[in-house]
């Protein structure tokens, strides 16, 4: 454990709220040193956490390339919100005064409090229903035994809005490609393909085939990756970092005060939506004021 | 040959080296939810997504400006397909779009945050331009082709809109400095703050340079020395391109209000190869420019209607530091009989003429957008402009003495002719009111028609109406096709309408605006996610071109709507992202323009231009950008007997090292191989004053350091 802690170097610590003598729990938001603009993402989450926590909050940036001896003393009895995969895996919850709260990771980690960046399925369905209300059937190809998305709750969420969710499981890329090729031949208006968070099947080649087919057969492709929108998917969700931070801060406060009973990772509730105008024009989607309420960023037609 | 090897090596090295991407796991984790770094920058508000334009348009962002190693907007504009930055005799930039060249370049509208920089005197950006530094720029939007239906006057050959950084973009205090060849030094600093709903920022840039090492071999005085037997020319001698600049840009955003203010102070501005095409390194100009603009956006002014109100004030000056010596001491000046005999003899102090002009420009208006009709986005607006040359001063030692009404003779002291009928230009004003409407109609899936019409009424030359049509068709998943038609006008400048007492040229108050009609067919084709190809074909007809035509008296020329030019051509642009860290881009432009009046190919603009660039992010620290710009086939005017202007290829290199997340250093080398490059000098009768053209700077080095706090 000591050796593990030695790799942590708090390069930068900033008290953002109130002075050190303030009574009550204090929060440290710990995240790894990354380049801009990635760092800004963590900063924004940390700012949100400070607001959600509502108490003295400091930011500790870890330079993982250097050994560190004093992280433990710096963290002291702070509540810790750890952001990012590396920061989280190198902190040992046993050494901390309070249970660890984890954020900005792509997978649900068992046994800890926190929130992943994977949007909750019901949020995505709501956006789909708002932006492409004609959609009756959604196809998704997922890796067999993958737990990134909760298929059961996804099924419920889609069904709740009268949309049929057809789930295909694939063992590997080759199998996924075969399924995609087969599925897209059968799709038309009223259908949609969902490329979920953490998808590793849809590379450039397959995306190109999928989006060309969607253009031709006029079905919707939606995703959790904004790059897909740039390339012709109708819309994508992406994290609202500040609100994610607020929720993490609230969670940390609750945990510190013993109000949060069971450990567990929440899915992301607060998302933004980006939409491809060229694709929506092609599909004949007329953006009403109600629809525009759901769109945060329009990628203009070229 | 060496140059070609350099290009091949520079472009090929990256291909054979594996790019060392050091995206950490955490960065990859974040990327999973944003797709790519560009989108993160958009999502966190650092950059704006590029808005579509139903036009042939380019957008160059701050990040790209840094990669180019550009220090002045001219270096950025040169990379735009179909746009070449030529030089006037005083080395002011002439933004030549698609073969449209003129002495002062009033056919291009340059805006800063939507506010025109056009001056009344020549319709350009000010004779004492002194460059524009780039650190405060967020992006530059360039539209090729006419845009008067939206922008009004002078959006003729092209529109250049410079958008400055906002308080949000300047959130972190930053500073930088650079120094290098030609005693060039530049420092800049920016900062921003927030107080409740108020966000504010400041950006200051200071620059000082000697400008260039290029030499003029023979000048206008060399010609008069030859004719009159004097020997006083300063040629051969270095071009006079010193400048001291201060640029200040302030912005405050409060809720729906945006207030911007700024100052661009130019001192010690050299006159290039000379205002009279005669070298004199002691001639220095000055200019002070102040701007303030205000806007208020009400998103729900009426149901489905947003309205933006805007107002701006811009004040400029063209001043002389000390006395401005047009012809050096011992010269006879240009005052010769047709047989070459000096009329007045030798001017012992030289021929001195120090003209100064002070202008102000006020604008107010609104733009409304209405989307209450299905499938239509309608915008309309109206506004008022008042511009005035409110002060013209002149001191000179030639012409008529306003007190004695006798000629001022060689050896006489300098006489102030300001506020007399003998000054070179009349003080005057111009008013303009306009109204425009534009509809974007999505009349079918994949089809969008933009139709716009603008009516302008001017107090001095009447009214003009200019339409535009743009049909955009999403032809397939990979291809977008645009058909464009536009008309535009260029307002006659005060120099063309109100010049008086000039021994050579006279203004004409009866001038009409120049007009252009343009047809374009453009394709945007993306065969894969790594390759973008753009191609367009254009044809234009430029009429009522204002030229100074010899009068029947023989000694003077008067401005007339005499010229006509048409042109056709194509522009091809390719961008290839080989890996996330290695990008190639390039463009080729070809134009063939014909001067109807001269019955010859149009002069001075390159008929062909090729630009290639490679941008290689070697790892998280190192980045190299190399570019080559090949300018080809510039014709002489029909009556210019010189050989065609020589082609040139300029190579530039920019090597950057990110020392830490906060600090970055760079080495910028321009004209890497020391190419002898020239821009065409003006023609004259019986021979050009500067016969061997206008030389560009040789190889130059610039070191840069920047820090983000």
Q: In this prediction, what percent of chain B has a pLDDT beyond 90?
A: 85
pLDDT recorded at residue B546 = 96
**Domains of chain B, each with CATH number or no CATH:** 2-708 (2.40.170.20)
Tokens 């779009």 map to which residue? B97
Q: Do A32 and B26 touch (CB under 8 A)?
A: yes
pLDDT recorded at residue A257 = 84
Cβ atoms within 10 Å of B322's Cβ, excluding its own: 11
Is residue A177 located within the same domain as residue A262? no
Please report which confidence band the pLDDT of residue A66 belongs to, taking 50, 70 and 90 as the band edges. Answer: low
pLDDT recorded at residue B376 = 94
Please report which confidence band the pLDDT of residue B55 belongs to, taking 50, 70 and 90 as the band edges. Answer: confident
From A30's Cα to the closest Cα of chain B, the distance in A is 13
Please report which confidence band the pLDDT of residue B51 belongs to, taking 50, 70 and 90 as the band edges. Answer: low
A84 Ramachandran zone, left/alpha/beta (phi>0; psi -120 to 50): left
**B289-334 pLDDT, tens per residue?**
999 999 999 998 999 999 999 999 999 999 999 999 999 999 999 9
What is the chain B residue with the closest CA to A228? B35
For residue B565, with 0-12 CB atoms within 10 Å meaning exposed, 13-18 middle and 19 or more buried, which class applies?
buried
Integer CA distances (angstroms), B694 to A172, A280, B221, in order: 65, 52, 15
Q: Do A32 and B24 touch (CB under 8 A)?
A: yes
Q: Which residues of B touch A86 (CB under 8 A)?
A: 24-26
Q: What's the CA angle centered on B169, arms B163 and B171, to 5 degrees?
A: 145
The answer to whether the Cα torsion of B187, B70, B284, B232 is positive or negative is positive
Is residue A284 located within the same domain as residue A146? yes
From A184's Cα to the closest Cα of chain B, the distance in A is 16
For residue A20, with 0-12 CB atoms within 10 Å meaning exposed, 13-18 middle and 19 or more buried, which class applies?
exposed
Section B57-86 average pLDDT: 95
Is residue A107 located within the same domain as residue A182? no
Residues in CB range of B212: below 8 A, 6 or more apart:
B182, B238, B239, B241, B695, B696, B697
Residue B196 phi, psi dihedral angles, 5° rounding: 65, -125
Q: Look at strands B305-321 and B184-195 and give their pairing.
A: unpaired
Contact B506, B495 (CB under 8 A): no
Token representation of residue B480: 């977008």
**B205-261 pLDDT, tens per residue?**
999 999 999 999 999 999 999 999 999 999 999 999 999 999 999 999 999 999 999
From B34's Cα to the closest Cα of chain A, the distance in A is 6
pLDDT at B17 over 90: no
Is residue A65 located within the same domain as residue A212? no
From A111's Cα to the closest Cα of chain B, the distance in A is 20
Q: By the CB < 8 Å criterion, does B2 face chain A?
A: no
Integer CA distances (angstroms), A222 to A227, A232, A238, A291, B149, in order: 11, 9, 12, 15, 38
pLDDT recorded at residue A240 = 93
Q: Do A84 and B29 touch (CB under 8 A)?
A: yes
Is residue A176 located within the same domain as residue A289? yes
Is residue A276 located within the same domain as residue A150? yes
Section A44-49 average pLDDT: 93
Is residue A260 located within the same domain as residue A287? no
Q: Do A36 and B26 touch (CB under 8 A)?
A: no
Q: Which residues of A touch B46 (CB under 8 A)?
A: 37, 40
pLDDT recorded at residue A25 = 80
**B412-452 pLDDT, tens per residue?**
999 999 999 999 999 999 999 999 999 999 999 999 999 99
Residues in chain B: 709
Preferred mutation among B477, B578, B664, B708 to probe A, highest tally of A CBs within 10 A: B477
Please report which confidence band the pLDDT of residue B14 belongs to, taking 50, 70 and 90 as the band edges. Answer: very low
pLDDT recorded at residue B22 = 47
Is residue A111 located within the same domain as residue A178? no
pLDDT recorded at residue A302 = 73
From B664's Cα to the closest Cα of chain A, the distance in A is 13
Q: Do A241 and B39 touch (CB under 8 A)?
A: no
Section B63-75 average pLDDT: 95
Please report which confidence band the pLDDT of residue A36 belongs to, taking 50, 70 and 90 as the band edges. Answer: confident
Q: Which residues of A touch B529 (CB under 8 A)?
A: 204, 207-208, 231
Q: Look at strands A271-276 and A297-299 and give their pairing.
A: parallel
d(CA A191, CA B641) in angstroms, rounded, equals 70
Range 46-85 of B in CB contact (< 8 A) with A: 46, 49-52
Is residue A61 located within the same domain as residue A187? no
Q: Which residues of A touch B25 (CB under 8 A)?
A: 85-86
Q: How far apart are the first and last CA of chain B?
A: 45
Tokens 């000379």 map to which residue? B274
* Average pLDDT score, chain A: 84
Whichever domain contains A54, its CATH number is: 3.40.50.2300
Q: By the CB < 8 Å criterion, does B421 face chain A?
A: no
What is the chain B residue with the closest CA to A217? B477
From A165's Cα to the closest Cα of chain B, the distance in A is 22
d(CA B83, CA B34) in angstroms, rounded, equals 35
Please report which confidence band the pLDDT of residue B19 belongs to, taking 50, 70 and 90 as the band edges. Answer: very low
Max Cα–Cα distance, chain B, nearest Å = 85
d(CA B316, CA B361) in angstroms, rounded, equals 9
pLDDT recorded at residue B16 = 44
Residue B626 phi, psi dihedral angles, 5° rounding: -125, 140
From B30's Cα to the closest Cα of chain A, the distance in A is 7
Helix (H, G, I), strand (E, B) or coil at B462: strand
Find the CB nearest A86 among B26, B34, B39: B26
Higher pLDDT, B14 or B684: B684
E strand segments, B151-197: 158-164, 174-180, 184-195
Contact B567, B99 (CB under 8 A): yes
From A291's Cα to the closest Cα of chain B, the distance in A is 14
**A266-278 pLDDT, tens per residue?**
888 899 999 999 9
Is residue A21 located within the same domain as residue A89? yes
Q: Look at strands A191-195 and A137-143 and give their pairing.
A: parallel
d(CA A196, CA A184) in angstroms, rounded, equals 16
Residue B178: CA count within 13 A, CB half-sphere = 32
Token representation of residue A51: 């607001």
Higher pLDDT, A153 or B358: B358
Q: Which residues of A touch B579 (CB under 8 A)?
A: none
Q: Which residues of A touch B39 (CB under 8 A)?
A: 226-227, 230, 238, 274
Is residue A142 located within the same domain as residue A249? no
What is the chain B residue with the closest CA to A88? B26
Q: Do B33 and A238 touch (CB under 8 A)?
A: yes
Is residue A257 located within the same domain as residue A110? yes
d(CA A39, CA B181) in angstroms, rounded, equals 36
Q: Do B33 and A33 touch (CB under 8 A)?
A: no
Token representation of residue A280: 């929506």
Preferred mutation among B35, B304, B535 to probe A, highest tally of A CBs within 10 A: B35
Section A129-147 average pLDDT: 90
A156 Ramachandran zone, left/alpha/beta (phi>0; psi -120 to 50): alpha
Section A173-182 average pLDDT: 94
Token representation of residue B66: 């840094």
Residue B145 phi, psi dihedral angles, 5° rounding: 95, 175
pLDDT at B9 over 60: no
Q: Do B29 and A104 touch (CB under 8 A)?
A: yes
Token representation of residue A133: 């209300």
What is the chain A residue with the closest CA to B24? A34
**B614-646 pLDDT, tens per residue?**
999 999 899 999 999 999 999 999 999 999 999
Residue B147 phi, psi dihedral angles, 5° rounding: -145, 25
Token representation of residue A94: 């046993």
Preferred mutation among B22, B27, B28, B30 to probe A, highest tally of A CBs within 10 A: B30
Q: Which residues of A touch B168 (CB under 8 A)?
A: none
d(CA B22, CA B18) in angstroms, rounded, equals 12
Q: Look at strands A113-119 and A101-105 and give their pairing.
A: parallel
Range of the domain at A289: 119-238+271-299
Per-residue buried b or exposed e for B592-610, using 16+ beta carbons within 10 Å of the residue's own CB? ebebeeeeebbbbbbbbbb
What is the chain A residue with the closest CA to B442? A281
pLDDT recorded at residue B396 = 95
Find the CB nearest B49 among A231, A241, A297: A297
Token representation of residue A131: 């932006």
Please report which confidence band the pLDDT of residue B44 belongs to, taking 50, 70 and 90 as the band edges. Answer: confident
d(CA B280, CA B278) in angstroms, rounded, equals 7
**B487-538 pLDDT, tens per residue?**
999 999 999 999 887 767 889 999 999 999 999 999 999 999 999 999 999 9
Please report which confidence band the pLDDT of residue B47 belongs to, taking 50, 70 and 90 as the band edges. Answer: low
Least Cα distance to B254 among B165, B194, B333 occurs for B194
* Average pLDDT score, chain B: 93
pLDDT recorded at residue A71 = 67
Cβ atoms within 10 Å of B109's Cβ, excluding its own: 28
Measure the CA dihedral B149/B151/B157/B160, to 10°.
-150
Helix axes A241-256, A38-53, angle to 10 degrees: 40
Domain count, chain A: 2
pLDDT recorded at residue A15 = 41
Comparing A256-265, B62-71, B88-97, B510-519, which segment has the lowest mean pLDDT? Answer: A256-265
């Amino acid at each position: 454990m000591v050796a593990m802690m030695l790799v942590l170097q708090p390069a930068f610590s900033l008290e953002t709220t109130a002075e050190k003598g303030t009574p009550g729990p204090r929060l440290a938001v710990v995240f790894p040193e990354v380049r801009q603009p990635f760092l800004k993402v963590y900063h924004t989450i940390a700012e949100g956490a400070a607001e959600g926590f509502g108490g003295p909050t400091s930011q500790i940036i870890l330079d993982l390339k250097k050994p560190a001896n004093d992280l433990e003393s710096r963290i002291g009895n702070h509540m810790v919100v750890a952001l990012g995969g590396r920061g989280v895996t190198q902190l040992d919850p046993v050494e901390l005064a309070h249970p660890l709260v984890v954020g900005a990771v792509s997978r649900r980690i068992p046994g800890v409090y926190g929130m992943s960046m994977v949007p909750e399925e019901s949020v995505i369905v709501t956006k789909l229903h708002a932006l492409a209300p004609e959609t009756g059937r959604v196809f998704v190809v997922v890796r067999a035994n993958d737990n990134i998305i909760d298929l059961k709750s996804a099924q419920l969420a889609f069904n709740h809005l009268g949309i049929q969710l057809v789930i295909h499981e694939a063992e590997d890329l080759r199998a996924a490609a075969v399924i995609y090729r087969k599925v897209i031949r059968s799709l038309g208006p009223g259908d949609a393909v969902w490329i979920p968070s953490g998808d590793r099947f849809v590379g450039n080649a397959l995306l190109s085939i999928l989006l060309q087919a969607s253009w031709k057969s006029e079905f919707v492709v939606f995703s959790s990756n904004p790059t897909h929108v740039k390339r012709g998917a109708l819309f994508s969700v992406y994290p609202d970092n500040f609100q994610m931070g607020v929720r993490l801060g609230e969670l940390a406060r609750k945990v510190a005060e013993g109000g949060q009973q069971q450990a567990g990772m929440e899915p992301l509730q607060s998302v933004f939506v980006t939409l491809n105008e060229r694709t929506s024009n092609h599909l004949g989607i007329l953006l009403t004021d109600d629809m525009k309420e759901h769109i945060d960023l329009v990628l203009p037609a070229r | 040959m060496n140059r070609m090897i350099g290009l091949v090596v520079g472009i090929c090295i990256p291909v054979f080296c594996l790019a060392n991407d050091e995206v950490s796991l955490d960065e990859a984790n974040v990327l999973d939810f944003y797709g790519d770094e560009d989108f993160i920058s958009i999502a966190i508000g650092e950059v704006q997504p590029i808005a579509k334009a139903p036009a042939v348009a380019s957008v160059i962002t701050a990040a790209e400006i840094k990669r180019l190693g550009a220090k002045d907007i001219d270096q950025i504009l040169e990379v735009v397909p179909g746009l070449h930055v030529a030089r006037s005799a005083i080395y002011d930039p002439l933004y030549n779009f698609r073969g449209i060249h003129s002495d002062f370049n009033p056919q291009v509208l340059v805006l800063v945050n939507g506010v025109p920089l056009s001056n009344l005197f020549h319709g350009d950006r000010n004779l004492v331009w002194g460059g524009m530094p780039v650190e405060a720029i967020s992006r530059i939007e360039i539209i090729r082709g006419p845009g008067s239906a939206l922008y009004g006057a002078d959006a003729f050959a092209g529109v250049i809109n410079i958008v400055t950084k906002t308080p949000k973009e300047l959130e972190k205090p930053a500073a930088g400095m650079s120094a290098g060849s030609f005693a060039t030094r530049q420092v800049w600093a920016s900062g921003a703050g927030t107080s409740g709903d108020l966000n504010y920022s400041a950006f200051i840039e200071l620059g000082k340079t000697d400008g260039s090492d290029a030499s003029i071999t023979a000048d206008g005085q060399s010609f008069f020395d030859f004719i009159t037997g004097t020997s006083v020319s300063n040629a051969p001698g270095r071009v006079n391109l010193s400048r001291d600049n201060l640029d200040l840009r302030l912005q405050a955003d409060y809720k729906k209000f945006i207030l911007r203010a700024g100052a661009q102070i130019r001192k010690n501005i050299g006159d290039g190869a000379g205002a009279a095409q005669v070298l004199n390194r002691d001639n220095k100009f000055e200019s002070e420019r102040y701007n303030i603009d205000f806007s208020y956006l009400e998103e729900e002014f009426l149901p489905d209607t947003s309205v933006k109100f805007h107002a701006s004030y811009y004040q400029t000056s063209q001043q002389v530091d000390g006395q401005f010596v047009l012809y050096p001491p011992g010269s006879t000046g240009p005052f010769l009989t047709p047989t070459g005999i000096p009329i007045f003899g030798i001017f012992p102090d030289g021929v001195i003429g120090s003209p100064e002009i002070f202008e102000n420009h006020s604008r107010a208006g609104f733009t409304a957008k209405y989307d209450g009709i299905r499938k239509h986005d309608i915008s309309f607006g109206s506004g008022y402009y008042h511009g005035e040359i409110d002060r013209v001063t002149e001191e000179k030692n030639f012409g008529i003495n306003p007190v004695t009404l006798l000629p001022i003779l060689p050896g006489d002291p300098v006489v102030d002719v300001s506020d007399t009928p003998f000054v070179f230009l009349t003080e005057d004003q111009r008013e303009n009111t306009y109204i425009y409407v534009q509809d974007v109609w999505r009349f079918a899936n994949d089809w969008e028609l933009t139709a716009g019409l603008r009516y302008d009424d001017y107090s001095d030359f009447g009214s003009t109406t200019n339409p535009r049509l743009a049909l955009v068709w999403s032809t397939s998943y990979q291809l977008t096709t645009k058909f464009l038609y536009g008309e535009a006008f260029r307002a006659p400048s005060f120099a063309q309408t109100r010049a008086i007492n000039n021994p050579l040229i006279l203004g004409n108050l009866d001038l009409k605006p120049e007009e252009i009609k343009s047809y374009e067919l453009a394709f945007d084709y993306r065969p894969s996610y790594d390759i973008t190809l753009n191609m367009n074909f254009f044809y234009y007809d430029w009429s009522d071109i204002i030229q100074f035509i010899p009068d029947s008296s023989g000694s003077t020329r008067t401005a007339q709507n005499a010229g006509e030019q048409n042109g056709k051509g194509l522009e091809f642009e390719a961008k290839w992202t080989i890996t996330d860290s290695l990008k190639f881009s390039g463009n080729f432009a070809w134009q063939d323009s014909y001067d109807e009046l001269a019955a010859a190919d149009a002069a001075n603009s390159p008929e062909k231009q090729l630009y290639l660039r490679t941008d290689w992010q070697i790892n998280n620290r190192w980045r190299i950008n190399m570019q080559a710009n090949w300018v080809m086939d510039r014709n002489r005017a029909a009556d210019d007997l010189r050989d065609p202007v020589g082609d040139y290829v300029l190579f530039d290199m920019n090597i950057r090292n990110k020392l830490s997340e906060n600090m970055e250093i760079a080495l910028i080398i321009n004209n890497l191989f020391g190419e002898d490059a020239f821009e065409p000098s003006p023609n004259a009768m019986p021979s050009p004053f500067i016969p061997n053209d206008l030389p560009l700077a040789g190889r130059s080095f610039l070191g840069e350091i920047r820090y983000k706090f």
